[in-house]
Structure formats: structure tokens, C-alpha cells
Amino acid sequence: MDNLCKRCLLFDMAGHDDVKAQLEKTKKLMGPEEKAPDDVYEKRLSQCKNCDSLINATCLKCGCYVEIRALSAATKCPAKKW
């Protein structure tokens, strides 16, 4: 696979406009009780950015885009890092 970006989040990478739009749409649709607080969300993404399992904004442990996975208050990291 070309253009692998280790430890990149979506907004670190060019392109992926469809997924970026999906992320923004999901953020707007989630109620405040469903969504992780902003500080928790940022902390989760910081942990993902320091994780060897993050490639092209995708977690190799679960196959999710971490910026979308980390949005939900109830979601957990598959490697128990958050």
C-alpha cells in the first residue's frame, strides 16, 4: 500500500474528504450525552497518535477511523489505552 502515514489522524492527511465529511456529520448528529467531552476526545486522539497501531487515521486493532471511534463517550480503545 502506498502513502501509508503512521500515526496520522484524518486532518493530518490530504484527501479523505468523504470520511472527513462523515466525521463532521457524526459530530453534529450525536447528542451531548452520547459524545465524549472535548477534553476526553482530545486526550484519546493524543493517545492514538502515539500508538503503533495507528496507520492512515485507522486503528489496526479495530479497523475504525479513530477520530470517529473516539467521539462516543461509551466507546473504549480495543487495546485498553483509553
* Residues 6+ positions from 7 with CB-CB distance below 8 Å: 49, 50, 51, 54
71 binds ligand SF4 (CB under 6 A): no
Residue 7, CB-side half-sphere exposure with 13 Å CA sphere = 6
Site for ligand SF4 in 30-49 (CB under 6 A): 47-48
Of 29, 31, 30, 23, nearest in space to 65 by CA = 23
78 binds ligand SF4 (CB under 6 A): yes
Of 29, 2, 11, nearest in space to 65 by CA = 11
Query: Quick one: which of 6, 25, 27, 61 contacts ligand SF4 (CB under 6 A)?
Result: 61
Q: Which is nearer to ligand SF4, 21 or 60 (CB)?
A: 60
59 binds ligand SF4 (CB under 6 A): yes
Site residues (CB under 6 A) for ligand SF4? 47-48, 51, 53-54, 59, 61, 66, 77-79, 81
